[in-house]
Amino acid sequence: MTYQSDIPDPALIEARNILAHPQGHTHSAIRHACQIAATEGDQHDIEAASKTLAALNAEIADRSGRDRQAARRAYFQIALICIGFWIFVALAIFGLPLVWGWLTATVMLKPEACGALGAVECGEMLRAGL
């Protein structure tokens, strides 16, 4: 004759299944299974629950360390992009007029830049921006 106390609780059976194969379950489901196994299970269930919980805590600690490093790298990359953008803007604002002024003063206004063209043709070419 089987007594009601000999039949394991369905929650304990599910907890044992989760502890046997925790890969496809969330952290909260694994923690809940550990809690059920520790309160309703035998000594073997308690040991399996404590080992699984220790492994889960170690994984969470390792992941949080990696997440902090990844966040630090992402912040550094964003800072480099922003600094590079502002350097580009500064060069565009201040550098291009300087370069254009130098080109205008040294190359474009010199008659020898026109080569064999006459003064009239050279002036027309310079006015046209060629």
Are the beta carbons of 56 and 25 closer than 8 angstroms?
no
Looking at residue 120, what is its pLDDT?
60
Q: Is the pTM higher than 0.95?
A: no
Looking at residue 41, what is its pLDDT?
82
Give residue-wise pLDDT tens across range 64-114.
778 888 888 999 999 999 999 999 998 888 888 887 777 776 665 555 555
4 compared with 70, residue with greater pLDDT: 70
Checking if the pLDDT of 31 tops 90, the result is no
Looking at residue 15, what is its pLDDT?
86
14 compared with 105, residue with greater pLDDT: 14
Read off the pLDDT band of 1 (50, 70, 90).
very low
Cα distance between residue 63 and residue 48, in whole Å: 22
Q: Which residues contact 9 (CB under 8 A, 6 or more apart)?
A: 40
Residue 76, CA atoms < 13 Å, CB-side half-sphere = 6
Looking at residue 130, what is its pLDDT?
55
Read off the pLDDT band of 46 (50, 70, 90).
confident
